[in-house]
A = this chain, B = another copy of it.
Amino acid sequence: MKTSRRKFLRYGLGLTAATAFPSIWTRKSVTGYSNGDIEQRLSIGRGLEGLTKNDLATPTLVLDLDVFESNLEKMSRHAKEVSIELRPHAKTHKCIEVARRQIDAGALGVCTATISEAEALAEGGINGLLITSEMVGRDKIRRLVQMTRNHPDTMSVIDHPDHAKQLSQAAVEASLELNVLVDIDPIGRRTGVSAGKPAIDLAHYAEKLPNLKLRGIHSYSGPSSHVTGFEERRAHSRRVMAAPIETFFKLQEEGLPMEILSGGSTGTYNIDPEFEGMTELQVGSYVFMDVDYRIIGGKSGPDYDDFGQSLKVIATVISKNHDDRATIDAGFKAFATDRDFGPDIIGISGITYRFGGDEHGILQLDDPSREVKLGDRLEFVVPHCDPNVNLYDRIYCLRGEKVEEIWPVVGKYV
Q: How far is the CA of A24 from the CA of B146 in the complex (A)?
A: 10
- Which residues, 350 to 408 on A, are CB-close (under 8 Å) to B? 355-360, 362, 374-375, 377, 386-387, 390-394
Q: Which of A28-36, A210-218, A255-263, A294-302 contacts B (4 or more CB under 8 A)?
A: A28-36
How many copies of this chain sit in the oligomeric assembly? Answer: 2
Is the CB of A186 closer than 8 A to any CB of chain B?
no
User: Which residue of the partner chain, among B57, B114, B120, B359, contacts A113 with CB atoms under 8 Å?
Assistant: B359
CB-CB nearest in chain B for A174: B23
User: Which residue of the partner chain, among B33, B116, B188, B327, contacts A191 with CB atoms under 8 Å?
Assistant: B327
Do most interface residues of chain A lie in helix, strand or loop, or is the interface mixed?
loop
On whether the beta carbons of B17 and A319 are closer than 8 Å, the reply is no
Is the CB of A238 closer than 8 A to any CB of chain B?
no
- Give a binary string over A18-48; 1 marks a CB under 8 Å from any B CB, 0 the rest: 1011011000001111111000000000000
Q: Which residues of A contact B (CB under 8 A)?
A: 9-18, 20-21, 23-24, 30-36, 56-60, 91, 113-116, 119-120, 123-124, 133-140, 142-143, 146, 159-160, 162-163, 185, 188-194, 198, 222, 316-322, 327, 329, 332-333, 336-338, 355-360, 362, 374-375, 377, 386-387, 390-394, 410-414
Known contacts A123-B17, A414-B60; is-contact A30 B319 (Cβ 8 Å): no
Q: How far is the CA of A18 from the CA of B118 in the complex (A)?
A: 9
Known contacts A57-B139, A91-B359, A163-B374; is-contact A413 B319 (Cβ 8 Å): no
User: Which residue of the partner chain, among B222, B321, B360, contacts A160 with CB atoms under 8 Å?
Assistant: B321
User: Chain B contacts of A146 at CB under 8 A?
Assistant: 21, 23
